[in-house]
Chains A and B, each alone.
Chain A
């Protein structure tokens, strides 16, 4: 019973972190779009968005920090 409860709570916590990340990515994408369509030469202004979004995907979704130990999983 306690194992199941802990598993469900763990899953909820992981999924919540995923939603926060997806929300952040969506907001960054929309700001990126507004910056690009507003400015005349937006290239340099867009680079931080690419780095931020890529970093979020690598760290949260792809678990890149697991590369240190090669432990993995979405647990």
Chain B
């Protein structure tokens, strides 16, 4: 018996095939809009206080946070690669590593906030730029951790595979974006002032 395909079914099939490409384009557009948001906050730091910075910034902690985020990027990259190759065990381990490193980053930001509040007030010129920028980034780290947690759990339950891992790719791409923004924020707040 020959099977016939209705136009509606054909359309749905084409839409399902096309969806990952549309999702990718959508995510890139979203990340582009986020870039404008971060660019506005970063430029406000230079507008209100030039490249000046307080003497008592905790440079060691900021460097450690940078390396932590970098480490989380490679673990996220490994998680995505593992799912693309159907290696579920590695996927779960690396996703958990990424989540833990993200949480450690947030703890470090909390310590930095506490120290910074004793060195310069949040309503000072530099303080307003510092706390807004770090706070905005930390919020993105927090939402990234939540999204990573959801995808890790669904992956653990067997929802994804090598031919269907768009959610993993999407959340990992978002995580790399958060790292990318820190690449600009770190020198903006900690390094441009010089020795």
Instruction: Please give the number of chain B residues whose Cβ is less than 8 angstroms from any Cβ of chain A in the complex.
Output: 42
Pick from A21, A32, A36, A54: contact of B180, CB under 8 Å: A54
**Residues of A1-33 whose CB lies within 8 A of B:** 7-8, 10-11, 14-15, 18-19, 21-22, 25-26, 29, 32-33
A interface, CB within 8 angstroms of B: 7-8, 10-11, 14-15, 18-19, 21-22, 25-26, 29, 32-33, 36-43, 46, 49-50, 53-54, 57-58, 60-63, 66-67, 70-75
Distance between Cα atoms of A22 and B85 in the complex (Å): 21
Distance between Cα atoms of A46 and B74 in the complex (Å): 23
Distance between Cα atoms of A68 and B194 in the complex (Å): 39
Is the Cβ of A11 less than 8 Å from the Cβ of B70? no
Q: With A18-B74, A37-B59, A75-B85 in contact, is A66–B191 under 8 Å at CB?
A: no
Main secondary structure of the interface of B (DSSP, over half): helix
Q: With A14-B81, A36-B187 in contact, is A57–B195 under 8 Å at CB?
A: no
B interface, CB within 8 angstroms of A: 20-21, 24-25, 28, 51, 59, 63, 66-67, 70-71, 73-74, 76-78, 80-82, 84-87, 162, 165-166, 169, 172-173, 176-177, 179-180, 183-184, 187, 190-192, 194-195
Is the Cβ of B78 less than 8 Å from the Cβ of A15? yes
A-B contact pairs, 27 of them (CB 8 A): A7-B86, A10-B85, A11-B85, A11-B87, A18-B74, A18-B77, A18-B78, A18-B81, A22-B73, A29-B63, A32-B191, A36-B191, A54-B183, A57-B73, A57-B183, A61-B179, A62-B176, A62-B177, A63-B173, A66-B24, A70-B25, A72-B20, A72-B24, A73-B84, A74-B81, A75-B84, A75-B162
